[in-house]
Amino acid sequence: MYVEKIPWTANYEETEIPAYTLPDALLCQDGTTVKNAEEWQNKRRPELLEIFKKEMYGQILPMPDHVEYEVLTDSKPALDGIAMMRQTRIHFKMDNGKSHDVDVLMFTPAKEGKHPVFVGLTFVGNHVCSTDPEIIITGRRMDASEEYQKDLESKRGFQERRFPLKEIISRGYAIAFACYNDIFPDRPSGWKESALNLFIPIGELASPSGYSSIGVWSWGISRILDYVSTLPEIDAEKACVFGHSRLGKTSLWTGVIDERFKLVCVNDSGCGGAALSRRLYGETLFSMMHYTGIGKYWFTATLRPYVYATDTLPMDQHELIALVAPRAVAVHSATEDQWADPTGEYLSAYYAGKVFSLFGKEPLKSLTPPPPDTPVGTDVSYFERTGKHDILLSDWTHYMDMADRIFKK
Ligand code: GCU
What pLDDT does 230 receive? 98
Q: Is 288 in the pocket of ligand 1 (CB under 6 A)?
A: yes
What pLDDT does 187 receive? 97
**Ligand 1 mutation pick, 56, 292, 339, 341, max ligand atoms within 8 A of CB:** 339
Has residue 368 got a pLDDT over 80?
A: yes
What pLDDT does 268 receive? 99
pLDDT tens by residue, 2-38: 899 899 999 999 999 999 999 999 999 999 999 999 9
Give the residue-averaged pLDDT of 326-335.
99
Q: Is 162 in the pocket of ligand 1 (CB under 6 A)?
A: no
Confidence of residue 209 (pLDDT cuts 50, 70, 90): confident
Give the residue-averaged pLDDT of 122-129.
98
Active site (annotated) includes residue 389: yes
What is the whole-number distance in angstroms between the Cα of residue 246 and the centre of ligand 1?
A: 6
Ligand 1 atom closest to Cα of residue 244? 12
Protein residue with its CA nearest to atom 13 in ligand 1? 245
Has residue 409 got a pLDDT over 80?
A: no
Q: Is 108 in the pocket of ligand 1 (CB under 6 A)?
A: no
Has residue 160 got a pLDDT over 90?
A: yes
Q: Is 271 in the pocket of ligand 1 (CB under 6 A)?
A: yes
What pLDDT does 208 receive? 81
> Mean of the per-residue pLDDT values for the chain?
97
All residues at 6 or more sequence positions from 384 whose CB lies less than 8 Å from its CB, including other chains:
332, 333, 334, 335, 342, 346, 369, 370, 372, 373, 374
What is the whole-number distance in angstroms between the Cα of residue 249 and the centre of ligand 1?
A: 9
Has residue 207 got a pLDDT over 80?
A: no
Confidence of residue 204 (pLDDT cuts 50, 70, 90): low
Catalytic pick among 91, 170, 389, 394: 389
What pLDDT does 203 receive? 72
What pLDDT does 206 receive? 64
Given a contact cutoff of 8 angstroms between Cβ atoms, the answer to whether 1 and 21 are in contact is no
**Ligand 1 mutation pick, 283, 287, 291, max ligand atoms within 8 A of CB:** 283
What pLDDT does 265 receive? 99
What is the whole-number distance in angstroms between the Cα of residue 245 and the centre of ligand 1?
A: 6
Confidence of residue 367 (pLDDT cuts 50, 70, 90): very high
Q: Is 282 in the pocket of ligand 1 (CB under 6 A)?
A: no
Give the residue-averaged pLDDT of 227-242.
98
Give the residue-averaged pLDDT of 229-237.
98
Amino acid (one-letter) located at 299: F
Ligand 1 atom closest to Cα of residue 283? 8
What pLDDT does 326 receive? 98
Active site (annotated) includes residue 244: no
Helix (H), strand (E), coil (C) string for the chain: CCCCCCCCCCECCHHHCCCCCCCCCCECCCCCECCCHHHHHHHHHHHHHHHHHHHHHCCCCCCCCEEEEEEEEEEEEEHHHCEEEEEEEEEEECCCCCEEEEEEEEEEECCCCCEEEEEEEECCCHHHHCCCCCCCCCCHHHCCCHHHHHHHHCCCCCCHHHCCHHHHHHCCCEEEEEEHHHCCCCCCCHHHHCHHHHCCCCCCCCCCCCCCHHHHHHHHHHHHHHHHHCCCCEEEEEEEEEEECHHHHHHHHHHHHCCCEEEEEEECCCCCCCCCCCCCCECCHHHHHHHCCCCCCCCCHHHHHHCCCHHHCCCCHHHHHHCCCCCEEEEEEECCCHHHCHHHHHHHHHHHHHHHHHCCCCCCCCCCCCCCCCCECCCEEEEEECCCCCCCHHHHHHHHHHHHHHHCC
Q: Does the model's pTM come out above 0.95?
A: yes
Cis before 116? omega within 30 = no
**CA atoms within 13 A of residue 249's CA, in its CB half-sphere:** 26
Ligand 1 atom closest to Cα of residue 272? 9
Q: Is 245 in the pocket of ligand 1 (CB under 6 A)?
A: yes
Ligand 1 atom closest to Cα of residue 268? 10
What is the whole-number distance in angstroms between the Cα of residue 307 and the centre of ligand 1?
A: 17
Give the residue-averaged pLDDT of 356-362.
98
pLDDT tens by residue, 39-78: 999 999 999 999 999 999 999 999 999 999 999 999 999 9
Has residue 221 got a pLDDT over 60?
A: yes
Confidence of residue 201 (pLDDT cuts 50, 70, 90): confident
Confidence of residue 346 (pLDDT cuts 50, 70, 90): very high
What is the whole-number distance in angstroms between the Cα of residue 154 and the centre of ligand 1?
A: 23
Q: Is 388 in the pocket of ligand 1 (CB under 6 A)?
A: no
Q: Is 294 in the pocket of ligand 1 (CB under 6 A)?
A: yes
Protein residue with its CA nearest to atom 4 in ligand 1? 246
Catalytic pick among 130, 218, 222, 245: 245
| Cα(337)–Cα(293) distance, integer angstroms | 19
Domain ranges of the chain: 62-240
Phi, psi of 116 (to 5 degrees): -65, 160
What is the whole-number distance in angstroms between the Cα of residue 408 and the centre of ligand 1?
A: 34
Q: Is 152 in the pocket of ligand 1 (CB under 6 A)?
A: no
Ligand 1 atom closest to Cα of residue 249? 10
CA distances from 149 to 107, 124, 141, 155, 389 (A): 25, 11, 9, 10, 26
Given a contact cutoff of 8 angstroms between Cβ atoms, the answer to whether 146 and 152 are in contact is no
